[in-house]
Amino acid sequence: MSSEKGYDTAILTVERLSKAFGGVKAVNDLSFSVTQNAIHAIIGPNGAGKSTLFNLITGVIAPNEGKIKLFNHDITSLRPDKIAQYGVSRTFQNIRLFPDMTVFETVLIGTYLLTGGKLLPALFRSNEFRKRERQAKDRIKEILQFVGLWDMRNEYAAKLSYGNQRRVEIARALATNPRLLLLDEPTAGMNQKETKELMQLFSQVNQQGITILIIAHDMHLVNTLSNQITVINFGEKLVEGPPEVIQNHPAVVEAYMGRAEANA
């Protein structure tokens, strides 16, 4: 498939995952895997369980059944911060920024795994502490320049335009140095120009060797950006494959358009 070594290795494997809320099966016996360096899209109608799936992968909620593996580590039911340590970072469907922080401060939070939260080095400002702080700040400069927010670093993040707020969130996620980046409808509510710019950003992120798992509604975005698509409906996997296959798959058309149109 590719000359790059390790392209086909699975970075994330979801095995027979189930989660029910009361009687509603949000995710039902779902299995799929994400290969390294892929841009893997999860699509499906509203309420298909996509966001639940993300919350399961990132440990916000625990599954009733099934396993989630990152490389060969079992991360099922681990705490979100533990899962973040394994190199999984995310953005949220409804942008979650820190209300009182500037862009720089917000992204600085993302470097927690680099700087750590130890008390004694902080109180005595050890050489190691200073070194890490410097590294963290250099890294943020790099990331903010990369996402195009360096000039706005001293603005309050919550004051920026919607599109730029999303960029702050992505920058914060990148600051954790992730191997796998989960994007939950990153282009929802954006205009075409913003969407296009973000898509460019995502492929640049991907080129840096970060695997992307993305939830999206915009079929154009999914078809252009991703190289693997998993379609889910009612918490179950409908089909999976590269965009060319998915676009015309009868089950997908049916899920999106309804049976009558599919037959027409």
Partner 1 sequence: MEQTKKSYFQKIILIIVGIALFLLPFAITNPYIMYIINLILIYALLALGLDLIVGYTGQVSVGHGAFFGIGAYTAAIVAKKVGLSFWLTLPFSIVITAAIGFIIGFIGLKLIEEYLVMATLAFGTIIWLVFLNWTDLTGGPMGIAGIPAPPTIKLGGFEFPFLQYHDYYPLLLIFVYLGILITRLLIRSGFGRACTAIRDDELAAQAMGIPVFKTKVTMFTISATFCGAAGALYAHFLHVVSPETFTFSMSVTILTMVMIGGQGSIAGAIIGASILTISSEALRETPELRMLIYGFLIVIMIMFFPKGIMGLIQIIKRRFLQKNILIEKSSVEKEGLGYE
Give the interface with partner 1 as residue ranges (CB under 8 A): 46-47, 50-51, 58, 60, 79-81, 84-85, 89-90, 92-102, 105, 108-113, 115-119, 121-123, 125, 129, 132-133, 154-156, 158-160, 162, 165, 172-173, 175-176, 185, 188-189
d(CA 38, CA 41): 9
Comparison of 163 and 241: residue with beta carbon closer to partner 1: 163
Of the candidates 122, 14, 109, which has an alpha carbon nearest to the alpha carbon of residue 68? Answer: 14
185 near 170, Cβ under 8 Å? no
Contact 52, 221 (CB under 8 A): no
Residue with smaller CB distance to partner 1, 33 or 115: 115
Q: What are phi and psi of 27, to 5 degrees?
A: -130, 130
Residue 244 CB, shortest distance to partner 1, in Å, is: 26
Type and span of the H or E element at 13:
strand 10-21
Q: Which is nearer to partner 1, 11 or 35 (CB)?
A: 11
192: phi then psi, degrees, rounded to nearest 5: -60, -40
CB of 168 to partner 1, least distance (A): 11
DSSP string, 23-38: TEEEEEEEEEEEETT-
- 176 φ/ψ angles, rounded to the nearest 5 degrees: -80, -5
CB of 85 to partner 1, least distance (A): 5
| Min CB(26)–partner 1 separation in Å | 12
Q: With respect to partner 1, which residue has the nearer C-beta, 35 or 63?
A: 63
Q: CB-wise, 16 or 96, nearer to partner 1?
A: 96
**Which residue, 35 or 233, is less far from partner 1 as judged by CB?**
233
The three-state secondary structure class of 230 is: strand
Shortest gap between Cβ of 161 and partner 1 (angstroms)? 9
CA–CA dist 79, 134 (Å, integer): 29
> How many alpha carbons lie under 13 Å from residue 183 in its C-beta half-sphere?
32
Shortest distance, position 112 Cβ to partner 1, whole Å: 5
